[in-house]
């Protein structure tokens, strides 16, 4: 199994993302600025931190990460005798 298979989705040039309820295409990356073009052809530059902080932000077409069960990690810990 490849480590890339479970890698986080990447924001790269050509990727489609959802930001502020709209689907955008990433057209350029410049330092912390991510340049986007919207469905109407209009564009904007957004700071990466602002983009990633948006609660609706997703990379379109990326697999959603699987959540661990609430106590999942505790179930794998060895038992200690009393």
CA 35 to chain centre: 16
Higher pLDDT, 59 or 8: 59
Q: Is residue 82 part of a domain?
A: no
Quote the domain boundaries for residue 9.
3-75
Q: Is residue 20 part of a domain?
A: yes
Q: How far apart are CA 68 and CA 63, in angstroms?
A: 15
Tell me the pLDDT tens digit for each residue of 9-49: 788 999 999 999 999 999 999 999 999 999 999 999 999 99
Domain count within the chain: 1
Classify residue 80: in a domain, yes or no.
Answer: no
Please enumerate in sequence order all residues whose Cβ is within 8 A of that of 43, keeping only pairs 6 or more positions apart, or say none. 27, 35, 36, 37
**How much is the pTM?**
0.66
In a domain, 81, yes or no: no
Q: What is the CATH number of the domain that holds 25?
A: 2.30.30.60
**Mean pLDDT in residue range 66-71:** 60
């Amino acid at each position: 199994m490849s480590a890339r298979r479970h890698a986080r989705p990447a924001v790269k040039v050509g990727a489609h993302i959802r930001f502020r309820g709209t689907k955008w295409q990433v057209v350029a990356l410049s330092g912390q600025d991510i340049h986007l073009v919207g469905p109407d052809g209009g564009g904007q530059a957004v700071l990466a931190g602002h983009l990633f902080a948006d609660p609706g932000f997703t990379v379109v077409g990326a697999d959603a990460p699987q959540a661990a069960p609430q106590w999942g990690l505790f179930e794998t810990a060895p038992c200690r005798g009393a």
